[in-house]
Amino acid sequence: MRNLLCCVIIWGCVFVVVAWGEKPLEALESSNMAMAADTPNVETMDVLSKKPHEGLVYPPLNQPQPPVPRRVELDSGMIIYLLEDHELPIVDISVQIRTGAIYEPEDKIGLAAITGAVMRTGGTTSKTGDELDEILENLAASVEVGIGGDSGTASMSVLKEDLDTGLAILADVLMNPAFREDKIELEKVQHRSSIARRNDSARSITSREFRKLIHGADSPYARTTEYDTINSITRDDLVAFHAKYFRPNNTILGVLGDFNSEEILGKIRGAFTGWQPAEIDLPEKPKVHEDMARRVGLVTKDDVNQTNIRMGHVGWLRSNEDYPALVVGCQILGIGFSSRLMNSIRVEKGLAYSVGNNYGAGYDVPGVFLIVCATKSESTVTATEAILAEVERMRAEEVSDEELKQAIDGFMNSSVFDYDSKGEILSRALRYAYYDYPQDFVEQLMAEIRNVTKSDVQRVVAKYMHPDQFTILAVGKASDFDKPLDSLGDVTEIDITIPTPSPEPVPEAGEGDVAKAREILAAATEAHGGLENLKQVKTFVSIGEIVMNTPAGEMTMDGEFTVALPGKSRNDMTIPAMGMTMSRVLGADSAWMVGPQGSQTMPEVFAQEGRNVIFRLDPPLLTYVSGAEVPVQHLGEEDVNGQMADVVLVSDTPAGSIKLFIDQESKHIVKKAYQALGQQGEPVQREEFPGDYRVISGVKVAFSIVLVDNGEKVAEVTLSEAKINAEVDESIFEQ
């Protein structure tokens, strides 16, 4: 008789009964009734009382069998990994070049990143970057290049049918970058903007300054770009950096997608024809200073109500024989929601929303073992002490069986993502080849982690984690801390002030240049109203329209600028189209901004720029330069919008150096050139073009001003009204 499957539905529940072999349904029913009539014994009750999933035994999971990329080395020395995947008609190429920011000169920090970016944006010797953009956009393809800390990368993604075009562009970009000057300058502007904004985020400050505490501020693993290092970079530097490192024998290339391996090898050889290998004197990687000692750093940031904390020390290598046990130890200590730090610091004590640690291992130089925590200001030291106590407890006691199992299972479960795509498999192959690790490193690691014991964890934690030697950094409002930070150790207060760019070098002034400059300035002072009238200016009010060029297009605003010399001002701007008003105010001893979201303290860099704006107004500026001790010199002549002007440099003013361009006929100032802050707070080279001079209370006032930053017009101001020495209500400068 055939096997029998019976489904019975009772009160919405489905019961499935399977009868096997020759036993008829009647016999099965009789047997069931007989069993029901019997009194169940204790053993039967135990079985019935168990939950359905209890007691189940699962066989070990099958080991993944990932595809193995094929490795080929070309005659040029280029190493290629091939992994075919015919599921989609797409071909992706990933490239790694042995280079990095760690090899750039100390006085040109940012060179590597700018080189990588402009290789792509600057185009090649045959096509501009904009032309490449158009070609790739029409193909729905991409080609990208970048250089990070210790490696350079490039990538290409195209449809199979467009492989020849995409591969040709990738090869051209890698071999023949043009490094066009306009794209270099654009990239430098973006870096300057990043420098100007780098103190906006407490988390970014914490990450940056912790690296400096661990490695030293001058270490290639911690140093940061500055205005001077960016300004010192030239096109020749980019050309030389590229020529030194971008060679086929310094390149690993991975190909994934819908292709035939032999066919694509021929295409790659053809695309890179002419790319010659070279002897590369690759510098030895900088050493990591492994000396450890308790250090406590503080960055005071008064505009936050929580503290970002980092603590830790130099870590270890992934090739360390104890790395598998360290992975498990880190899992238990602070990785995931079931970790000790999360349960203790967040759940039990309620001291932090986020807390955790990392593995702290690098491939060829030691990584950094660190613990991160964000807590409210009033629990800063308490949270830090609690974290240190958890690390000490883990050093002193064995972990539990449950913790060990959970950590190992957690790592194994997460390791599935090492195989979730062929792209990840190829990427890992390139990474291991780049750092000279065995291609089955992750499989070896997983096998070793399965054998980690509780005693292994305690041993490596005690050996490698030293909370008494942790470097500790807190970024927050120190006045709100629950305890003095020096209860953790001697505190170093860290200054995060952004260094201003060095002034542009000027030729040494001769006596004749100085005398001529003073003569020209005296004539300009007289033409603008005379020294006595200029000295009498106490207040200045201007009303008019401002047209600003923003990334989103032109924006028209109505503005009123009120100044009370020597140092108070109020700038009120209204955007009629949006019905929005914004104000910036410099008071006697404070500065603030008012906008749709309320009032807030003005960052000091913007407050200082506001003071500089006041100084650069004609009355205070011309009054200042009339002083006999002010360093000035004549730099020659220059055409300014069709007018010949004498160029006078005024050095070391309260607002920095400034060049005045004075019309040779009218003696009016027709241009001012100086360093200012751009729209994003970055330093820019600003040119100010005043015009349409009118006499107000005996003083010449420019009713038209055009502002140009780094060669790009950013704003045009047209005044409708100006007042000098009008009565001003001082309360407008009070917060």
Flag whether 597 is in a domain. yes
Task: State yes or no: pLDDT of 443 exceeds 70.
Answer: yes
Out of 439, 458, 493, pick the residue that ends a domain.
493
CATH of the domain at 373: 3.30.830.10
DSSP structure string for 650-678: E-S-TT--EEEEEETTT--EEEEEEEEE-
Indicate if 333 and 422 belong to the same structural domain: yes
Structure tokens at 336: 């995931």
Q: How many CB atoms lie within 10 A of CB 304?
A: 14
Average pLDDT rounded to a whole number, residues 143-157: 97
Out of 271, 295, 322, pick the residue that ends a domain.
271
Average pLDDT rounded to a whole number, residues 712-719: 94
Indicate if 178 and 231 belong to the same structural domain: yes
Structure tokens at 441: 């490193």
Out of 465, 493, 521, pick the residue that ends a domain.
493
The percent of residues in the chain predicted with pLDDT above 70, rounded, is: 92
Task: State yes or no: pLDDT of 617 exceeds 80.
Answer: yes
Output 607 or 28, whichever has higher pLDDT.
607
Indicate if 451 and 314 belong to the same structural domain: yes
pLDDT of residue 41: 52
Q: Where are the beta strands (DSSP E) in 490-538?
A: 491-493
Indicate if 190 and 306 belong to the same structural domain: no
pLDDT of residue 491: 97
Task: State yes or no: pLDDT of 22 exceeds 60.
Answer: no
Flag whether 4 is in a domain. no
Q: What is the pLDDT of residues 270-321, one digit of tens each?
A: 999 999 999 998 888 999 988 888 999 999 998 899 999 999 999 999 999 9
Indicate if 297 and 187 belong to the same structural domain: no
Instruction: Respond yes or no on whether the N-terminal peptide bond of residue 566 is cis (omega within 30° of 0).
Output: yes
Indicate if 295 and 208 belong to the same structural domain: no
Average pLDDT rounded to a whole number, residues 409-431: 87
Indicate if 254 and 339 belong to the same structural domain: no
Indicate if 264 and 304 belong to the same structural domain: no
Flag whether 422 is in a domain. yes
Q: How far apart (Å, rounded) are the C-alpha atoms in residues 411 and 417?
A: 11
Q: How far apart (Å, rounded) are the C-alpha atoms in residues 176 and 242?
A: 10
pLDDT of residue 50: 59
Asked if 670 and 663 touch (Cβ cutoff 8 Å), the reply is yes
Flag whether 5 is in a domain. no
pLDDT band at 109 (very low <50, low <70, confident <90, very high): very high
Indicate if 515 and 650 belong to the same structural domain: yes
Q: Report long-range pairs for 555-564 (Cβ below 8 Å, ≥24 apart).
A: 559/717, 562/728, 562/732, 563/539, 563/614, 563/617, 564/538, 564/539, 564/728, 564/730, 564/733
Indicate if 166 and 220 belong to the same structural domain: yes
Q: What is the pLDDT of residues 456-471, one digit of tens each?
A: 999 999 999 999 999 9
Amino acid at 116: G
pLDDT of residue 61: 60
Flag whether 54 is in a domain. no
Average pLDDT rounded to a whole number, residues 99-110: 96
CATH of the domain at 637: 2.50.20.10
What total of structural domains would you count in the chain? 3
Q: How far apart (Å, rounded) are the C-alpha atoms in residues 15 and 6?
A: 8
Dihedral angle computed from the Cα positions of residues 518, 519, 524 and 530, in that order, rounded to the nearest 10 degrees: 90
What Rg value do the Cα atoms of the chain yield, rounded? 35
CA atoms within 13 A on the CB side of 258: 12
Structure tokens at 661: 């361009």
Flag whether 282 is in a domain. no
Task: State yes or no: pLDDT of 106 exceeds 60.
Answer: yes
Amino acid at 280: I
Flag whether 504 is in a domain. no
pLDDT of residue 196: 86
Instruction: Report the mean per-residue pLDDT for the chain.
Output: 89
Residue among 375, 380, 359 nearest 312 (CA): 359
The percent of residues in the chain predicted with pLDDT above 90, rounded, is: 74
Average pLDDT rounded to a whole number, residues 254-278: 96
pLDDT band at 473 (very low <50, low <70, confident <90, very high): very high
Indicate if 486 and 515 belong to the same structural domain: no
The answer for residues whose C-beta is within 8 angstroms of residue 519's C-beta and 6 or more apart is: none
Indicate if 447 and 519 belong to the same structural domain: no
Flag whether 718 is in a domain. yes
pLDDT band at 417 (very low <50, low <70, confident <90, very high): confident
pLDDT band at 81 (very low <50, low <70, confident <90, very high): very high
Q: How far apart (Å, rounded) are the C-alpha atoms in residues 441 and 448?
A: 11
* Pair type for strands 471-476 and 295-300: parallel
Instruction: Respond yes or no on whether the N-terminal peptide bond of residue 60 is cis (omega within 30° of 0).
Output: no
* SS3 call for 287: coil
Domain that holds residue 539: 511-733
